[in-house]
C-alpha cells in the first residue's frame, strides 16, 4: 500500500473514532431532558428542580474542562478520553437506577466531569494524529458528529422511555456508551494511546502563564461570545420572532430548525474551506461578520417572514463555517505539547457563555425587547472579530505546531 493511501486510511480512522466519541458525548448531554416529564411525575418535583440537574451537569463540565486539558498533555489524551466516556456512560446508566430524586444531582456532577474531557482530548488527538492537510475536515467532522448526537438523543431516548420506561432507557443508553468505549479503545494505537502529547512541554508551560497569553485569553473570549450568541438564538429566538413578526408558533419554530440545519451545513463546508487556505482568520472574520449582519437585519427590519428565514439560514451557515477555522486558529496559537491545556481552557468559554447568555437574553424578553435580542446577538458576534485578530497574531509557525 502506498504511503499516501496509508496516511489517508490512518487519518480517516482517527477522525471516525473521535467523531464517534464526540457523538456519544452530545448524545448523553441530552439524555435526561426527554424523560423530564416522567421524572416530574414519578418524583413529584418542580421544573426548577429538574433544571437544576442540567445546571449541575454543565457547571461541573465547565469547571473541570480547563483542568482536563492539563491531564491530556501530561498523561495522554487517549487515556483521558476513555476515562471520561466511561464515567459519563456509567453515570447515565446509574441515573436509571436512582430510588430518590436527589441522587440525580451527584450523578449529574459525575456526568459533567466525564463530559469535560471531550473537547480537550478530542482536539488534542486530532491535532497531533491527523495530517495537516486534513485537519480542517477533521474538525468539521468533529463538530458535525456532536450535532448529530444532539439530534439523535431526544428521539432515541424519548422513544425508549415512553415504550419501555425511563429507567430501562437510561440504563440501555449507558450500556451503549460502554460498548462504544470498548470499540473505540480497540484502536488505541491509532489514537496515540498514552503517548498523545504525553509529557511534551509539561515542564515548559506553566498553566497560569500559558492561559494569560493574549492569544489564549482572546480564544477563551471568542468561545464565550459565540456561545452567548448561539444560546441566545436557540433559547429565545422563537419567542422573539413570535413577538416581532406575529407568525404562528409552528412557523417561528421552523426558524430554529432552519438555523441549526444551515449551521451544520456550514460546519461541513468550513472543513473543506480551511484545508484550501491558511488564512483561517479571514474565514472566521467574514463568517462571524456576515452571521451578525444577517441576524441584525432579520430582527430589525420589517420584512416578509420568508426573507427572515433566509437571513436566519444565512446566519447559521456563516457561523457554521467558522467552527473548523476557529479550531485551526486555536491550534496554531497553542505552544508545542500544550494543545490539551489550550483547548481545555478556551473551550471552557463555551460553558461560561452558555451560563450567562440565557439570563441576559431572558431579561431582554422580560422587558419586552425582542428586537434587542437580535441586536444583542449581532453585537456579540461582532465583538468576536478583534478576538480573531489577536489569536491570529499569536499563531506559531507551522514548524512549531504540536504535531
What does the DSSP assignment read for 238-294? HHHHHHHH---HHHHHHHHHHHHHHHHHHHHHHHHHHHH-S-HHHHHHHHHHHHHHH
- Same domain? For 368 and 299 the reply is yes
Q: How far is it, in rounded angstroms, from Cα 313 to Cα 307?
A: 10
In a shared domain, residues 213 and 315: yes
Is residue 200, in this structure, part of any structural domain at all? no
Asked if residue 202 belongs to a domain, the reply is: no
Which of 195, 216, 246 lies at the terminal end of a domain, its last residue?
A: 195
- Phi/psi of residue 91, nearest 5 degrees: -65, -40
Q: Are residues 292 and 162 in the same domain?
A: no
Instruction: Answer yes or no: are the C-beta atoms of 173 and 28 closer than 8 Å.
Output: yes
Q: Which residue has the higher pLDDT, 377 or 277?
A: 377
Question: Do 13 and 43 sit in the same domain of this protein?
Answer: yes
Pair (218, 167) in one structural domain: no
CB 344 within 8 A of CB 68: yes
Q: Residue 231 domain-assigned?
A: yes
- Average pLDDT in the 53-75 region? 85
H helices of 186-213, in order, are 188-191, 207-211
Q: Based on the domain organization, do 156 and 284 belong to the same domain?
A: no
Q: Look at 204 and 54; give whichever has higher pLDDT.
A: 54
The count of domains in the chain is 2
Instruction: Work out the widest C-alpha separation in the chain, in whole angstroms.
Output: 65
Residue 397 has a pLDDT of: 53
Q: Please give the model's pTM, rounded to 2 decimal places.
A: 0.77
Domain match, 147 and 41 both = yes
Q: How far apart (Å, rounded) are the C-alpha atoms in residues 247 and 109? A: 40
pLDDT digits (tens, 9 = 90+) for 368-380: 888 999 999 999 9
Indicate the pLDDT class of residue 118, thresholds 50, 70 and 90. very high
Q: Which of 341, 335, 340 has the alpha carbon at shortest distance from 402?
A: 335
CA 22, CA 146: separation in Å to the nearest integer?
Answer: 5
Q: Is the distance from CB of 255 to CB of 314 less than 8 angstroms? A: no
201 lies in some domain: no
The percent of residues in the chain predicted with pLDDT above 70, rounded, is 94
Q: Specify burial of residue 113 (Cβ count, 10 A radius: 0-12, 13-18, 19+).
A: buried
Domain boundary among 164, 195, 226: 195
On the question of pLDDT at 399 being above 50, the answer is no
- 265 and 155, same structural domain? no
Q: Based on the fold, state whether residues 168 and 23 are members of the same structural domain.
A: yes
Its domain, for residue 177, covers: 3-195
Task: State the Cα–Cα distance between residues 8 and 138, nearest whole angstrom.
Answer: 12
Mind listing the pLDDT tens digit for each residue in 203-222? 445 778 888 888 999 999 99
Residue 318 lies in a domain: yes
CA 116 to chain centre: 11
Residue ending a domain, among 163, 195, 227, is: 195
My answer on whether 252 and 329 are in the same domain is: yes
Amino acid at each position: 500500500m502506498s504511503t499516501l493511501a496509508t496516511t489517508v486510511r490512518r487519518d480517516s480512522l482517527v477522525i471516525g473514532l473521535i467523531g464517534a466519541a464526540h457523538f456519544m458525548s452530545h448524545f448523553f448531554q441530552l439524555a435526561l431532558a426527554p424523560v423530564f416529564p416522567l421524572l416530574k411525575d414519578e418524583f413529584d418535583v418542580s421544573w426548577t428542580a429538574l433544571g437544576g440537574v442540567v445546571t449541575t451537569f454543565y457547571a461541573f463540565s465547565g469547571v473541570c474542562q480547563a483542568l482536563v486539558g492539563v491531564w491530556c498533555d501530561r498523561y495522554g489524551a487517549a487515556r483521558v478520553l476513555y476515562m471520561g466516556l466511561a464515567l459519563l456512560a456509567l453515570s447515565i446508566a446509574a441515573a436509571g437506577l436512582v430510588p430518590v430524586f436527589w441522587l440525580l444531582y451527584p450523578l449529574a456532577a459525575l456526568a459533567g466531569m466525564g463530559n469535560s474531557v471531550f473537547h480537550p482530548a478530542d482536539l488534542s488527538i486530532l491535532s497531533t494524529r491527523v495530517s495537516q492537510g486534513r485537519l480542517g475536515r477533521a474538525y468539521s467532522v468533529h463538530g458535525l458528529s456532536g450535532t448529530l448526537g444532539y439530534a439523535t438523543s431526544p428521539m432515541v431516548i424519548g422513544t425508549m422511555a415512553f415504550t419501555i420506561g425511563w429507567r430501562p432507557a437510561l440504563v440501555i443508553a449507558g450500556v451503549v456508551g460502554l460498548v462504544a468505549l470498548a470499540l473505540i479503545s480497540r484502536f488505541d494505537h491509532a489514537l496515540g494511546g498514552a503517548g498523545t502529547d504525553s509529557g511534551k512541554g509539561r515542564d515548559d508551560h506553566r498553566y497560569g502563564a500559558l492561559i494569560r497569553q493574549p492569544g489564549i485569553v482572546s480564544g477563551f473570549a471568542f468561545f464565550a461570545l459565540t456561545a452567548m450568541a448561539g444560546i441566545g438564538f436557540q433559547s429565545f429566538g422563537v419567542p422573539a420572532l413570535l413577538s416581532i413578526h406575529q407568525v404562528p408558533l409552528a412557523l417561528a419554530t421552523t426558524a430554529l430548525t432552519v438555523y441549526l440545519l444551515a449551521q451544520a451545513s456550514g460546519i461541513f463546508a468550513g472543513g473543506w474551506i480551511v484545508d484550501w487556505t491558511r488564512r483561517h482568520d479571514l474565514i472566521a472574520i467574514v463568517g462571524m461578520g456576515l452571521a451578525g449582519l444577517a441576524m441584525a437585519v432579520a430582527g430589525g427590519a420589517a420584512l416578509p417572514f420568508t426573507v427572515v428565514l433566509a437571513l436566519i439560514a444565512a446566519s447559521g451557515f456563516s457561523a457554521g463555517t467558522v467552527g473548523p477555522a476557529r479550531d485551526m486558529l486555536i491550534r496554531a496559537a497553542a505552544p508545542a505539547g500544550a494543545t490539551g491545556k489550550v483547548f481545555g481552557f478556551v473551550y471552557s468559554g463555551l460553558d461560561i457563555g452558555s451560563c450567562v447568555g440565557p439570563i441576559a437574553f431572558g431579561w431582554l424578553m422580560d422587558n419586552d425587547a425582542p428586537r434587542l435580542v437580535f441586536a444583542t446577538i449581532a453585537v456579540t458576534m461582532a465583538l468576536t472579530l478583534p478576538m480573531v485578530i489577536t489569536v491570529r497574531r499569536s499563531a506559531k509557525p507551522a514548524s512549531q505546531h504540536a504535531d
